[in-house]
Amino acid sequence: MAPDARFSCSLSRCFLAFLFLTVFPPAHSDQALIDEDTELSFKYEFDDRELEAGYELHIEGLNQSDSALILIIRIDNEDSSSYRTRFNREFSIQPGPFSLAIPVTALKTSGKHPLPQPYTKMIIFVSGKSDGVILNKASFKQPPPPEKNVLALDFGLLDSPVFPGFELILPKDRRIKGDLRPRNRTSGDPLIQDGFEGIESLSLPWPNGTWKLSLWTREQGEWEYLPHYLKKKIIAENNILLDQSLSSEQWVNEYYLEGMKKEAIIDGDLWALVGERRSGFLQTTIKISDEQLNLRLEGDKTAQFLSGLVLEPIEGQFADKVEENRKARMLSQWPVSTPEYPTPEALELKDVSAIPFKPSEQAKTYLTPGGSQLNLTFQIQSPTDDASPVIAIAQPRKANGKKLTVSKRYGHWRFERPHPNATSLIASNSLLRGDMESLTLSSKLPRDIHLQISIPTDAEPGLYSGSIQLFSKTALLVQDYNVRVLPFDLPRLDKPVGLYLEPAPFYQWFKDLQSRKPFSTACDLSLLATMGFTSVAPALDTPNTRDARKNFIRQLAQLRRFGFDQSVLAYAPLKRLLVAQSQEDAIKSLVQVKMLLSQNQLPEPYWSIYDEPVPEKTPEIINTARQIHGQTLEMATAGHLNNPRQTNLMEVTDLAIINHGFGVSKDSIAAIKNNRNVWLYNMPNPRLAAGFYLWKSGADGYLQWHGRMPTADPFDPTDGREGDVIYMYPWAGSCPSTMTIHQRLLSLQEAVTDLRWMLWLEAEAAVDSKAKELVEQISRKIPGHWKVAEKNLSNQDILTIRKLILEYAELKSQTAAVSRQPSATLSNRLRGVQDHENRLGQ
């Protein structure tokens, strides 16, 4: 049947063709929706009757393709007219059988508004091609009846989903005492995603005797917020179930960093690492003697939280089955792709660095100039587990004793989304831990060791030899490597490239930690400056008071002290200022800021006045820009654009920050750069976008979200609308000697290094025709339009370009005088580079 134009995908990547099947009667008890295997797409039409609270859609099927697919469930009511006005939910289904359970009452639209019943239709389909996906079963299941001698309470609101077998308890229930605040989060199953904060006590009528009590006590949080109580006490019938009293640093260690205590696959599945620890599940035996259960919650207000409660006989299995049900739901909703890894027969240690090198029988040799860092990776494969292997790193050393410093990290296995909007997970070792003393070996997965070698600007040229040594279970392995330092320095980047940066959220949550924020930022800036980054979008204070304005200046001065002298984006201060003050008072505050900047000889930042705005905000934005550009202030404005319909805001913007959604190409950037600067941000492939493509496009800078802003728990990839995109991980206490980071930070650093090489090569091209030819060759290889570049340039292509530059640099260094200055014209010995140039294509 021809596609229905009404359903052309509002999910931007979909191409849909709906096959509408037989319409079945409405469900008022368990109702099968199909009676035989059915290919997608599938449509069901409701009548005017409403489904009772707790109804769920249960589906089972088979993905017969050889790749994961996105299954989408869409539900409309009579007011639904677009993607944002209906319910849409995506699931990743792996090859093979799948099963899902989805609440179909208390639904929310994609615009985050309730979707009232009665519903009109439901469509189940697959994004893209649906060939090979079959539904074996589909049914609406009514809530099961209450079990005998079991009290099961699910705390929530009328528009909250209810877990099967539970009774919905509303805030006005007389059995609950306290100043209640309902919480409803996007993550978790129907039992733990909602609940009440501020519960002081519960008095629940119940027969005398000995009973098993189960509680779900932890609130999930959302965005960068995670409940952070220090004191919590739960008392049931005078029995203390939990008595917690922590310092702020203890809380950071025991709760915020809890997710680093176990490793994916090695220590268990997603449920073992995330599901179990996030619900705060408690279970104990109590004795009731006054015909009611008396439960008290003491401590900080956020600690007085419950999402679920079960009271059952000692021998009862209801709560245990609930946990099994929750586990099954989580594992089916979040399928995990794991790397294939056959257990090795013997201990192995090998160099797996993904950068160009010169091979030899003894060791790989890596070329690098002064003023740079070299990132190497070594992999250990072990046939047995080892809780205490010994890793010794010998610093690269010249024959005359000169040494290079090395930072060491290892890859910690965790579950994470392969991209921010993914509905599935991967097991990845991309979390690079700086605490090498915690390293272990496992027969289940390999262990990567990451070395970051710093080559200072005054490093003596020549060959430095280093090694990594491994001792495990009586076996000793040694892997050598060489670093050849070239006789010149890599120029410092002349464009602002860096991260949006804020301190970890917990510095703001605890008074005794707030004073450490500047020191935390100093740690971050020190690391980023060492890695070659030249700008950040810092967490600047809102300048609405005298003290806040002074701190605003101190923050900008701190950037200067760490060498961040490129343009700075003030991302949030102006937007927050216009909320905190009237426009008249805000202008007065900005006048004071301008005076302080002048007195302290600090350059003015770009003031962000909009961030991916909807069209309705345009008049307000134009008015703000008019005030900012007025003679009183004459300040520079900035704005983020991710849609071509926002082009009309360009005229009021001094710094246009654009991404692929807006449309990025060399020509469009050149057209935009009329009395304004253009930066790129949050591109799909930062290594390419912030490196060789930034050079080709002519854009003035690049910013990537986000240095330190997790969604709730930084080690739970499922607890937000999007996955965590963190580049640097938090720590407790003082600044660590080696910071734990995500591997994407090293990737972004390599992009910066690509740019710095192009600066060096362009300087050479001014005096050397061969360098000029190579610049032109590289330029031809990199498409001017982002979409074409992203599609056609692989990571291997990027490495090939880097290798060509390195080979030119090596031959240049061999023929030029040993000097820190750019040398003269290269001799004809560069002819051998041509073979590699040909691989780039004309």
DSSP string across 126-153: ESS--TTEEEEEEEEEPPPPPPTT-EEE
Please tell me the distance from the alpha carbon of residue 41 to that of residue 72, in angstroms, as a whole number.
Answer: 10
Look at residues 418, 404, 336 and name the one whose alpha carbon lies nearest to residue 374. Answer: 404
Q: Which two tokens stand for residue 322?
A: 């609930």
Give yes or no for residue 767 having a pLDDT over 50: yes
| Mean confidence (pLDDT) of the chain | 89
pLDDT top residue among 378 and 706: 378
Look at residues 490, 495, 484, 492 and name the one whose alpha carbon lies nearest to residue 460. Answer: 484
CA angle in degrees (0–180, nearest 5) for 568-572-575: 125
Give yes or no for residue 206 having a pLDDT over 60: yes
**pLDDT of amino acid 841:** 42
**pLDDT of amino acid 2:** 33
Give yes or no for residue 611 having a pLDDT over 80: yes
Q: 16-20, 116-120, 687-691, 701-705: lowest mean pLDDT where? A: 16-20
Q: 53-57, 469-473, 500-504: lowest mean pLDDT where? A: 53-57
Beta bridge partners of 728: 741
Q: 127-141, 532-546, 550-564: lowest mean pLDDT where? A: 127-141
pLDDT top residue among 106 and 749: 749
pLDDT-derived band at 359 (thresholds 50, 70, 90) equals confident
Please tell me the distance from the alpha carbon of residue 85 to that of residue 113, in angstroms, as a whole number.
Answer: 8
Q: Are 220 and 278 in contact (CB under 8 A)?
A: yes
pLDDT-derived band at 609 (thresholds 50, 70, 90) equals very high
Q: Which two tokens stand for residue 548?
A: 């806040």
| pLDDT tens by residue, 790-814 | 999 999 999 999 999 999 999 888 8
Hey, what's the torsion of the CAs at 547, 550, 554, 557, to 10 degrees?
A: 170
Please tell me the distance from the alpha carbon of residue 511 to that of residue 434, in angstroms, as a whole number.
Answer: 27
Q: 16-25, 475-484, 639-648: lowest mean pLDDT where? A: 16-25
- Cβ-based neighbour number of residue 169 at 10 Å: 21
**pLDDT of amino acid 32:** 84
Would you give the distance in Å from CA 534 to the centre of its chain? 22
Please tell me the distance from the alpha carbon of residue 569 to that of residue 679, in angstroms, as a whole number.
Answer: 11
Q: How far is CA 690 from CA 176, 308, 340, 460, in A?
A: 55, 47, 32, 30
Please tell me the distance from the alpha carbon of residue 30 to that of residue 140, in angstroms, as a whole number.
Answer: 6
pLDDT-derived band at 143 (thresholds 50, 70, 90) equals confident
Helices (H), ranges, 366-505: none
Give yes or no for residue 823 having a pLDDT over 50: no
DSSP state of 331: H
What's the whole-model pTM score?
0.88
Mean pLDDT of 114-122: 92
**pLDDT of amino acid 94:** 87
Long-range contacts at 476-479 (CB < 8 A, ≥ 24 apart): 477/347, 477/348, 477/349, 478/349, 479/349, 479/350, 479/351, 479/363, 479/378
Q: Are 682 and 668 in contact (CB under 8 A)?
A: no
**pLDDT of amino acid 48:** 81
Mean pLDDT of 693-702: 96
Give yes or no for residue 822 having a pLDDT over 50: no
**pLDDT of amino acid 813:** 85
Give yes or no for residue 179 having a pLDDT over 90: yes
pLDDT-derived band at 50 (thresholds 50, 70, 90) equals confident
Look at residues 726, 709, 712 and name the one whose alpha carbon lies nearest to residue 417. Answer: 726
**pLDDT of amino acid 446:** 97
Mean pLDDT of 518-531: 94
DSSP string across 362-389: S-EEEEEEESEEEEEEEEEE-SS-BSS-
| pLDDT tens by residue, 497-517 | 999 999 999 999 999 999 999
Look at residues 724, 721, 726, 685 and name the one whose alpha carbon lies nearest to residue 702. Answer: 685
Q: Are 618 and 648 in contact (CB under 8 A)?
A: yes
DSSP state of 110: T
pLDDT-derived band at 545 (thresholds 50, 70, 90) equals very high
Q: 256-260, 450-454, 519-523, 614-618: lowest mean pLDDT where? A: 614-618
Q: How far is CA 484 from CA 78, 365, 791, in A?
A: 70, 7, 34
Length of the chain (residues): 842
Please tell me the distance from the alpha carbon of residue 358 to that of residue 374, in angstroms, as a whole number.
Answer: 14
pLDDT-derived band at 836 (thresholds 50, 70, 90) equals very low
CA angle in degrees (0–180, nearest 5) for 418-227-328: 50
In terms of C-beta density within 10 A (0-12 exposed, 13-18 middle, 19 or more buried), how is residue 97 classed? Answer: exposed
- Provide the residue type at 28 as one letter: H
Q: Would residue 473 be called left, alpha or beta, if left means φ above 0 and alpha means ψ between -120 and 50 degrees?
A: left
**pLDDT of amino acid 4:** 34
Give yes or no for residue 827 having a pLDDT over 60: no
Beta bridge partners of 222: 225
Q: Are 724 and 712 in contact (CB under 8 A)?
A: no
**pLDDT of amino acid 448:** 98
pLDDT top residue among 361 and 511: 511
Look at residues 214, 115, 237, 116 and name the one whose alpha carbon lies nearest to residue 165. Answer: 214
Mean pLDDT of 547-557: 95
Mean pLDDT of 633-651: 92
